[in-house]
A and B are shown apart, each in its own frame.
Chain A
């Protein structure tokens, strides 16, 4: 039972917007798909398992099974959102394979798609849509967001090992529908640039929401000036892209 984990930490704020589009994630999914064809964004990000997890409680092991839903990117790619349910099941002998360096996403920039009055400028947008899970009311204070991912590494394992691991997990969680087959992790830095004049309190409040919605634990740090206010969030070894196949693997 201990392996049935509920990583509900700060992930469940989007229950009421489960079917809303997230324009920030849609765009990020496109750049992830272009850099790592076949991979989708995993949101919220999760810390990659390490040797500090002897009981294999942590999420993100290859061969783990999930309840996850996929949203399409703007042009290509997609996002697996696990925040609404946050349930997964690890294999008994979960071991993370050796990481290999891969390409990094460097200073990817997203300009918000809303007007100063807090309305989306994207065709087909609805009031419940979001930008990185922020409502238009909050997002109207954001000028743009950059994402920089250093030390990107890829985790992959031979197919027979993935089948054994996932079958082991499925034996205990037969209703789970997706298998995590590969992951890309890195040190993620998110910089949020605000429009001039936004108060420090409001900056911190918005950055804290982004932090919670991306699954970060760090405290946002102010880096901008009065004319160009900005905050930065940095979290190491985050799984941000995955490949997922339907369970059981065959």
Chain B
């Protein structure tokens, strides 16, 4: 009887951990990892430009970038795109593109459910303290009209400026952009009714690091951007 109870408790513990590992609060990094594999998050997020040959996110561009957070089991890597780059000499409109499926991910922070789904993991994924996560009711990330531009397969011939490539290859951390993902990105955070204004400000500021800074409106917090390059397929270039 006693052994049976212990086995039941152990099974329940394993189940809680297993469920907790699957259900995590969404961040833009986790949405990229789950829904658009192969793309890494790049900041500062920038709007797309189809016609400018000097646009810094045309696939084929060689650029200096710093990895701010490596890829993990749950999230795509986060990169800082430095404004040091050599464009490939053609505009983005010359690059083939494909529509992707829109995404909507919601995570509810209902108290009982949250405890069952492993509070420690939730805190880590949103980078919040225990008292801060108490203020949040729900997080939703929505990506509309996503499309990818890629030079894999059929690609225009790059015509990099030699002086540019010679100079940039002397610098560390050089990456080549093989593709980008563009879309209308919205992050909505709903706070609990009893959260104070200062608590909301504090939590909103911390969450905003996943995309940038959004708007705090009453009980909710919204980050949004249209036609944003929110991910890139980067490959290291050997100097």
Contacts and interface: CB of A to CB of B under 8 A. Distances in A.
Interface of A: 31, 34-39, 97-98, 100-109, 154, 156-163, 181-182, 184, 243, 245, 249-250
B225 A103 contact: yes
Contacts of A158: 54, 85-87, 161, 164
B49 A154 contact: no
A101 B161 contact: no
A2 to B, nearest CB: 28
A35 B46 contact: no
Contacts of B52: 98
Residue of A102, A109, A159, A161 ringed by the most chain B CB atoms within 10 A: A159
Interface stretch (B23-31, B95-103, B139-147, B201-209): B201-209
Interface in B170-204: 170, 201
A42 to B, nearest CB: 14
Nearest to B161: A160
B182 to A, nearest CB: 12
A107 B213 CA distance: 9
B201 A103 contact: no
A159 B170 contact: no
Nearest to A104: B213
B215 interface: yes
A151 to B, nearest CB: 12
A165 to B, nearest CB: 13
A161 B87 CA distance: 11
B167 A243 contact: no
B14 interface: no
Interface in B46-80: 46-47, 49, 52, 54-56, 66, 68, 80
B44 A35 contact: yes
Contact of B44 (A39, A161, A163, A250): A39
B29 to A, nearest CB: 14
Interface residue SS majority, chain A: mixed
Contacts of A97: 54
Contact of A100 (B46, B66, B168, B209): B46
24 contacts: A31-B205, A34-B213, A35-B44, A37-B66, A37-B68, A38-B44, A38-B81, A97-B54, A101-B225, A102-B45, A103-B44, A103-B211, A104-B212, A106-B213, A107-B215, A157-B83, A158-B54, A158-B86, A158-B87, A158-B161, A160-B86, A160-B161, A181-B83, A250-B167
B87 to A, nearest CB: 6
Nearest to A154: B46
B214 interface: yes
B213 A157 contact: no
Contact of B66 (A38, A102, A156): A38
Given A109-B201, A161-B164, 20 more contacts: A34-B213, A35-B44, A100-B47, A100-B49, A100-B55, A102-B46, A106-B213, A108-B213, A156-B83, A158-B85, A158-B86, A158-B161, A159-B85, A159-B86, A159-B168, A160-B86, A160-B164, A162-B84, A182-B83, A250-B167
A221 B225 CA distance: 30
Contacts of A243: 82-83
Contact of B49 (A98, A159, A249): A98
A156 to B, nearest CB: 4
Nearest to B63: A159
A162 B168 CA distance: 11
A102 B201 contact: no
Contact of A160 (B49, B82, B163, B227): B163
Contacts of A100: 46-47, 49, 55
A103 B213 contact: yes
Contacts of A34: 208-209, 213
Nearest to B82: A38
B43 interface: yes
Contacts of A156: 56, 83, 85
A101 to B, nearest CB: 4
Contacts of B81: 38
Contact of B45 (A103, A107, A182): A103
